[in-house]
Structure formats: C-alpha cells, structure tokens
Amino acid sequence: MNYTFQFGVALDGLPQLLQGALLTFELGVITFWGGALIGLFFAALKTFGSRPVRWLAQAYVVFFTNTPALIQIYFLYFGLPEFGIRWSNITCVLIGLTLNAGAYLTEIMRAGFLSVRATELEAAETLGFSLPQQIRYVIVPHIAKTIYPAIANFFIVILVMGTSIGAVVGVNELTGEAINLSTENYRWLEMFIVAACIYVVLTLIASISLALIGRWAFRVKAKIF
C-alpha cells in the first residue's frame, strides 16, 4: 500500500466542516422537535381516536416507517416539481425527515400513553379535566419520564444518520461539506475520517447534554453515548 495520508489538507477545510456540523445540529434539532409534535398528535389519535381516525394514524405510521427516508425526500425534491410545487433542498430534507421521525416517535409515544395508569386518568376525569387537559397535565409529564431514554437515543439517530441524507440533494451539512471538499482536494479518505471524528464529537456532546437534562428535569438515567 503506497497511500500517503495528508491530514493537513483535510484540516485546511475544518472551518467548512464545522459550519456543516452546525447545520447538521440545527437540522437534527428542528427535525426532532417537529417529529415529536407530530408523534404526540398521532399517538393521541391512535390511543383515543375513533376507529377511522386510528386507521388514518396507523396508515401514516405504516407508510413512513416502511419506506426509506431517502425516497420520501426524493419525492419532495424531484417529484413535487412535476405538479408545480418547488421547495428548496433544505426545506425538502426538513419536511421529509420530520414526517419520517414523527412516524417513529408516534409509536414510541404511544407506548408512553399506554403506560399511564388508569387510576390517574380516572382521577383527572373526576376533577373535570377535558381530554386535551388530561394529555397536557397528566399524560405528557408521565410519558416524558417513561420514554425519555428512548427519545434521547432517537435524537442521536436523527443527528448522525438522518441529516446526512441531505447531502444527496445538495444540502451542505457535515457530510455534504465533506463531499464538496473532497471533490476539490481529492483527499476523500482523510476528509471522511475527519468528518467521522466530528460526528463522534457531536453525538458525544448531544448524548451528555440529553443525559444531564434527563437527570435534572425527569430524574431518569439516559444512556450516554
């Protein structure tokens, strides 16, 4: 093997990679919270809705959990223009990943809904709480503590693997920046080793932060890294 590593060339592009890492983090946060709101909404429909509403919610979950996120983004970016709808690449990535995350978080949050004890809901009904009030004041605080570790781990999955899909439609997040720089300096191996190290740092920071938040806010022990 005569390959000579030249990490100096790769490190010259570190400012661009860090800028891409910042965009990666922003995409991950927006996607996660958007997906969490969608997941909470559809989990409530699947738990308390009528049969047609539950079928509709289940159809959403089945579709988005059984088709690749890349196909969903491709449809938004390349398919919708055929109908006269044109969105930017970042918008397509955000919408595609958010809808995809929402489907998975629906199932995670529904498990939290089902874990709420019937006596707690009966007590809320006795106090005159409406269903939205039960969800806000009884169910959400309970499931936040119950499923926080699973949700925290899912955020890491979105941050590392989900956002990198954006590179295929020209979004200059961390992977996209690494590809762009590699086409200029032809140091593909070094660039992606550096990018991988940045991903590890990002996930470590996010994992520690989520674990600390979980212990402080919900008194749960989330797995670190």
* CATH number of the CATH domain containing 21: 1.10.3720.10
Q: Is residue 200 part of a domain?
A: yes
Q: Is residue 89 part of a domain?
A: yes
111-119 average pLDDT score: 80
Q: For residues 157 and 83, which has the higher predicted lDDT (pLDDT)?
A: 83
Domain with 43, as residue range(s), is: 11-218
Q: How many CA atoms lie within 13 A of 197 on its CB side?
A: 11
Decide if pLDDT at 223 tops 80.
no
Question: Model-level pTM?
Answer: 0.85
What is the predicted pLDDT for the residue at 225?
54
Q: Is residue 225 part of a domain?
A: no
* Cβ atoms of residues 206 and 156 within 8 Å: yes
Q: Is residue 3 part of a domain?
A: no
Mean pLDDT for all residues in the chain: 88
Q: Is residue 141 part of a domain?
A: yes
Q: Is residue 6 part of a domain?
A: no
- Total domains in the chain come to 1
Q: Is residue 4 part of a domain?
A: no
What is the predicted pLDDT for the residue at 125?
82
- Among 97, 104, 101, smallest CA distance to 168 is for 97
Cβ contacts of residue 40 below 8 Å, gap of 6+? 105, 109, 140
Using CB atoms within 10 Å of the CB of residue 111, give its burial: 0 to 12 exposed, 13 to 18 middle, 19+ buried: middle
* Structure confidence by residue, pLDDT tens digits, 144-166: 777 888 888 888 888 777 899 99
Write down the residue that tokens 């006795």 correspond to: 126
Q: Is residue 223 part of a domain?
A: no
